[in-house]
Structure 1
Amino acid sequence: MNGSGLITRRGFIGSALVAGSSSKALAQGFAGLGESADGFAPVVPGRTFTFPADHGPHPEFRIEWWYVTANLTDARGTAYGAQWTLFRQAIAAGGPQEGWANQQIWMGHAAVTREDTHRFSQTFARGGVGQAGVETTPFHAWIDAWEMRALDSVNDDNIAPLELKASGADFSYTLRLDADRPLVLQGEGGYSRKSLREQASYYYSQPHYAATGILTIDDRPIDVTGMAWLDREWSSQPLAADQSGWDWLSLHFNAGDKLMLYRMRQTDGQHYGSGKWIAQDGRADQLASADIAMTPLAFTEVAGRKVPTAWRIEIASKALRIECMPLNARSWMGTSFPYWEGPIRFAGSHTGVGYLEMTGY
């Protein structure tokens, strides 16, 4: 395809994403997450997850993503972060159509972060023409040249080993992801509530990846190692109309435990929280909204917004009281639907590293 065709196609897709959007729609992000889900499949409790099938797309639902974040260091101890995300949105309900009539839009985000820099890139594709998609056997998720693919002898129950690749104008990375422990179903058996009403998603994670590879910034390759976290989530209406966005964390404790938690922000100030504590031996404890206290400690002015980039997290039932600090407080993803996403470190009752994502600011 020639250059003018690519520009025309991406221009069309970008227009489709933002057409008719308001500040509220932009706050809720890609796919109008708080809009009516009429015609799309509902998320209901009691789903039985099946792998590898559920590693693949679910086009009867409006939105889903394959999302990897990695906390990395080089031989000198310099810290880095890497993000790889593939989003799928159905712009109309109904069975997938062929070719350019296909109603699936794909969007990819990739980023690398260091204390002194944050680089990101974005790409779009229309479904049905082979430019983006996800296959389950062997597992392969891609958009343009970015890909997450199974290596030989992949285990479908822990979706490893994988190879992860992405690049932008001034960065690239290739990472190998290995895991020796199974996937974790978030929420109640993979049913993850987002409010006290019917908003929910199907959600599972692989928080146990060991990552190795090469990260390149400004044509300088760097050998890195670290830990990575995969989130898989799909839904048709994960936000209520009075929810403006979320604050989400994935934490790797130096002692070996893992923690996922989030706060869905509501306009009345009665925010809804949820989380899961994952012990080294694989046991996982669900955390209710009342268990979690998330308090902003410091704000950063970025892209004309005031964003809470330092947090205190308290979970009394786990004797947890930590303060989370960003590696780079200006880790702003200036994409079509902008948000903050970057690596963090934390200290207090527990120590470790993780990732923070904040939407709707």
Structure 2
Amino acid sequence: MSARLIASLLFCLFGLSTVLAQGFGGLGIGQDGYSKPIKGKAFDFPKDHGPHPDYRIEWWYVTSTLKGDDGNDYGIQWTLFRSAFAPPSDTSTVSTWNNGQLWMGHAALTSATSHFVAERRARGGVSQAGVRAQPFSAWIDDWEMTAVSDQTEGISQVKLAANGEGFSYDLRLDANGPLVLHGDKGYSVKSPDGQASYYFSQPFYRVSGALRIEGKSIQVTGEAWLDREWSSQPLSETQTGWDWVSLSFDSGEKLMGFQVRTKDGAPFTSATWISADGTPTAFGDGALKMTALKTDEVAGRRVPTGWRVELPQKDVDVEISALNPDSWMATSIPYWEGPVSIKGTKAGRGYLEMTGY
């Protein structure tokens, strides 16, 4: 093993350890030297489908609920994280093989009886991982989310692929609705102290393709939801994690909602109601209510896997239940994420993510 490779691996490990030691995933640490989200700044597409290296944290995050030709329900996750370990003005760590960026990929495939997880890491500057805005391509090793052709506009039509021990998937995603900006035209506040991110979604993907589970191929169709977010300090130092949902109702309407838990006091909440035509309505702190109904023993801890979600202004009073309560992401930064069913004033399917447990 070369000295350069050893140095790269040590930087990844010690850099990641530093991040983990400061707030959940480092999201509550300071943002000195990095760019900060500004309310009122307009998005610039397709440029904003690409990376923003002057911000400390960024992700491209896909979840999908699927029905197999075997009659079973499935869910998949595909995520690429970018994290900077030095502000753009600090060139002390920059070289031709290290540009101060760490890339990390997570992939999962979930059924009612199994949950497969894989993780990849890469240094910036060596083309092992990265994102290009146009034509769009995001990759880490052989995992990819990429436009179906050079003529594809933005992220409207993409291929999605990942693999790990015992599983793989190869899917096509076709958007049949617009991008949705969360919060105040994409400026999404996360705490009473004003921490914020830029945040938009493409929640209108139709999906087709194939899964492979322990050698068995399964044809699937369904829906997918892409979240795009970047910031430099999206949480405050007192916030410990979040509970997030993306819910797609049979009516064609959708709901994104989250609560960020604090060490003391009530959680901070935010929600976006998305009409069937893609028109968003933002709801600030206090409008959304999430109440844990059921907990399970998962990875040696108690995790709420059933919730009541209420947004009275839109007649939402639903219960969501995990397809597989054991959907634990045993990754460098562990968390729970998996598909859920919805019943109550509205019915449908969605995804639940919980961090900091």
TM-score of the alignment, normalized to the shorter chain, above 0.5: yes
Per-residue CA deviations over 1:125-153 (Å, capped at 9, x if unaligned) read 00001100001121000001101000134
1:114-263 equivalent positions in 2, closer than 5 A: 114-152=111-149, 153-156=151-154, 159-263=155-259
After superposition, the Cα gap between the structure-2 partners of 1:108 and 1:21, relative to the gap in structure 1 and judged at 3 Å, is closer
User: Structure 1 counterpart of 2:135, which letter?
Assistant: P
2:107 alignment counterpart: 110
* Counterparts of 1:117 and 1:4, CA distance in 2: 40
Compute the displacement of 1:307 (Å).
Answer: 0.8
Q: Tell me the TM-score normalized by structure 1.
A: 0.94
Deviation at 1:354, TM superposition (A): 0.4
* Counterpart-to-counterpart distance in 2, 1:34 and 1:244: 9
Q: Does 1:51 align with 2:51?
A: no
Cα distance, 1:92–1:6 mapped onto 2, change above 3 Å: closer
Counterparts in 2 of 1:104 and 1:155: CA distance versus 1, 3 Å? same
Structure 2 counterparts to residues 269-308 of structure 1, below 5 A: 269-308=265-304
Match of 1:92 in 2: 86
**2-structure distance, mates of 1:148, 1:136:** 12
Letter in 2 for 1:290: G
Q: CA deviation at 1:15?
A: 3.0
Asked whether 1:359 is paired with 2:355, we answer: yes
Q: Deviations along 1:140-194, whole A, 9 cap, x unmatched?
A: 00001101000134222xx211000100011000110001221001111000000
Q: 1:213 to 1:5 in 2, by over 3 A?
A: farther
Distance in 2, matches of 1:255 and 1:71, equals 16
1:21 CA displacement? 4.4
1:314 partner letter: E
Distance 1:173 1:3, change over 3 A: farther
Contact 1:122 1:335 in 2 (8 A): yes
SS at match of 2:286: helix
1:63-102 → structure 2 map (5 Å cutoff): 63-94=57-88, 97-102=94-99
Cα distance in 1 for partners of 2:222, 2:247 equals: 13
Q: What is the rounded CA distance, in whole Å, between the counterparts of 2:164 and 2:129 in structure 1?
A: 17
Q: Is the 8 A contact 1:10 1:124 kept in 2?
A: no
Look up the SS of the partner of 1:289 in the other structure: coil
Which residue of structure 2 lines up, in the alignment, with residue 350 of structure 1? 346
User: Distance in 2 between the 1:276 and 1:339 partners?
Assistant: 23
Closer, same or farther: CA 244–298 of 1 in aligned 2, 3 Å: same
**Equivalent-residue separation in structure 1 for 2:299 and 2:335 (angstroms):** 10
User: What TM-score does the superposition give when structure 2 sets the normalisation length?
Assistant: 0.95
Please give the secondary structure, in 2, of the residue aligned with 1:229.
Answer: strand
Query: Alignment length, in residue pairs?
Result: 353
Q: What SS does the aligned partner of 2:76 have?
A: strand
Are the structure 2 counterparts of residues 3 and 254 from structure 1 closer, same or farther at C-alpha, using a change threshold of 3 Å? farther
Partner of 2:321: 325
Tell me the alpha carbon deviations over residues 279-318 of structure 1, each in whole angstroms, 9 at most, x when there is no partner.
Answer: 1122211112221110000111111211111000111111
Q: Hey, what's the Cα distance between the residues in 1 that align with 2:71 and 2:4?
A: 44
- SS for the counterpart of 1:48 is coil
1:137–1:311 distance in 2 versus 1, CA, 3 Å: same
RMSD, aligned α-carbons: 1.8
Task: Name the amino acid aligned to 2:146.
Answer: R
Identity, % of aligned positions: 51
| C-alpha displacement of 1:8 | 7.6
Distance 1:255 1:244, change over 3 A: same
| Secondary structure of residue in 1 paired with 2:333 | coil
Stretches of structure 2 lacking an aligned partner (at least 5 in a row)? none
Cα distance between partner residues in 2 of 1:359 and 1:300: 15
Q: Which whole-Å CA distance do the structure 2 matches of 1:122 and 1:43 have between them?
A: 29
The structural deviation recorded for 1:268 is 1.5
Alignment partners' CA distance in 1, 2:19 and 2:123: 19
Measured after TM superposition, the shift of residue 3 of structure 1 is 11
Contact kept, 8 Å, 1:10 with 1:125, in 2: the verdict is no
The unaligned stretches of length 5 or more in structure 1 are: none
* 2:263 equivalent among 264, 267, 276: 267
